Structure 1
Amino acid sequence: MLHTLRLISFLTTFVFLSACSTLAVDVPLVYKIDIDQGNVLTQDMVNQLRPNMTKRQVIYVLGSPLLIDPFTTNRWDYVYSVQPGGEDRFEDRIALFFAGENLIHVEGNLTPALNPAPPPPTEMTIEAPKRELKKTLYEMIVGVFSFDDD
């Protein structure tokens, strides 16, 4: 009886281990996540930059800068780095230069387009045709009891 239980447990263990080894070959063992770092920068955001914008307006458009050099506060750096799961990393950089509180110059691999296309309209105008409205129930009841000649 004891030998039979050992044999059954050995065979059961063997079957489970062989099944696990075939699963390990078919299923990928490592999942690599996307890694985003820095300020999200898009061309649409950069196209909103204009000369003489104040620092506050720039923060409204792009967010707080990633780097502000404490020795030269007239330069702000924005960096956005993305590495999609296990692929090569790519980076967008932009440097903004200020004279006092006003933006004077933009450098980097994302620069404002000279004449960006206007954004597509989000509103639509529909003209409804005129129609004759029927009298409401209230108007019909009042009309029965009124002495107006219509």
Structure 2
Amino acid sequence: MQNTKLMLTSLPLVGLLALAGCTIPGVYKIDIQQGNVVTQDMIDQLRPGMTRRQVRFVMGSPLITDTFHPDRWDYLYSIKPGGGQRLQERVSLVFDTNDLLIGLAGDFLPGTTREEEIMGGSGGTVIRKAPTEEAEEPIKPGSLLEEIQREVDEAESEPVPTPEPLDPSPQ
């Protein structure tokens, strides 16, 4: 009789200890990804005047199409590494009344593509930078970053040679 009471009271205690073992540090936790994966290459392919179909081809379907703002598409991506801090990125694309891309805002900014660097052109996309918690620090004189920036500013571009046309006449 005494042994059965001891067993009945110790059984829930053993069960609680077994459940507590599930939260031991070092247990593998999965990464949780949600939303649209957006890369800088995708943003660099966007050009003002692109249609909604062209933008959907480059970026994929938007995560949010707001009923009250039909001319705006929102792309959100978040990842929470197992046991780590959750990170989130956001991009909003704005279209005009003719369904042409006129601007973007968010965590990515359009860069210069390789073709634009060669040809010397620039896109006319309206850029609105998303507010950030910390302001960008100015470049300190004499730092490596200042030296690199000076070398970039002093670099001279060379025109790309154009190949001569092929002679269509037989020889």
TM-score tier by shorter-chain length is 0.5 to 0.7
> What CA distance in whole angstroms lies between the structure 2 residues aligned with 1:117 and 1:82?
30
From 42, 47, 59, the counterpart of 1:45: 42
> What CA distance in whole angstroms lies between the structure 1 residues aligned with 2:92 and 2:73?
6
Q: 1:29 to 1:88 in 2, by over 3 A?
A: closer
> What CA distance in whole angstroms lies between the structure 1 residues aligned with 2:94 and 2:54?
14
- How many residue pairs get aligned? The number is 93
Alignment-mate amino acid for residue 107 of structure 1: A
Between structure 1 and structure 2, the one with the greater Rg is 1
Higher normalized contact order (CA 8 Å, seq sep 6+, divided by chain length): 1
C-alpha RMSD of the superposition: 2.0
1:73 Cα deviation after fit:
0.5
From 89, 110, 130, the counterpart of 2:86: 89
- Which residue of 2 is the match for residue 34 of structure 1? 31
Q: 1:90 to 1:29 in 2, by over 3 A?
A: closer
Residue 57, structure 1, aligned to residue 54, structure 2: yes
| 1:81-101 CA-partner distances (Å, limit 9, x unpaired) | 111111111111100000031
| 1:14-66 CA-partner distances (Å, limit 9, x unpaired) | xxxxxxxxxx8xx8562210010000111111111110000000100010000
Indicate the percent of aligned positions where both proteins have the same amino acid: 52
- Which residue of 2 is the match for residue 104 of structure 1? 102
Secondary structure of the structure 1 residue equivalent to 2:55: helix
> What CA distance in whole angstroms lies between the structure 1 residues aligned with 2:36 and 2:54?
16
Alignment-mate amino acid for residue 50 of structure 1: R
Secondary structure of the structure 2 residue equivalent to 1:46: helix
| 1:88-143 CA-partner distances (Å, limit 9, x unpaired) | 11111100000031000010011211x2335xxxxxxxxxxxxxxxxxxxxxxxxx
Q: How does 1:122-141 map to 2 (within 5 A)?
A: none
Alignment-mate amino acid for residue 108 of structure 1: G
Q: Which runs of 5+ in 2 are unaligned?
A: 1-20, 116-171
Report runs of 4+ in structure 1 exceeding 4 Å deviation.
Answer: none
* Cα pair 1:94 1:111 within 8 Å, conserved: no
> What CA distance in whole angstroms lies between the structure 2 residues aligned with 1:117 and 1:33?
37
Q: TM-score if structure 1 supplies the norm length? A: 0.57
> What CA distance in whole angstroms lies between the structure 2 residues aligned with 1:68 and 1:111?
21
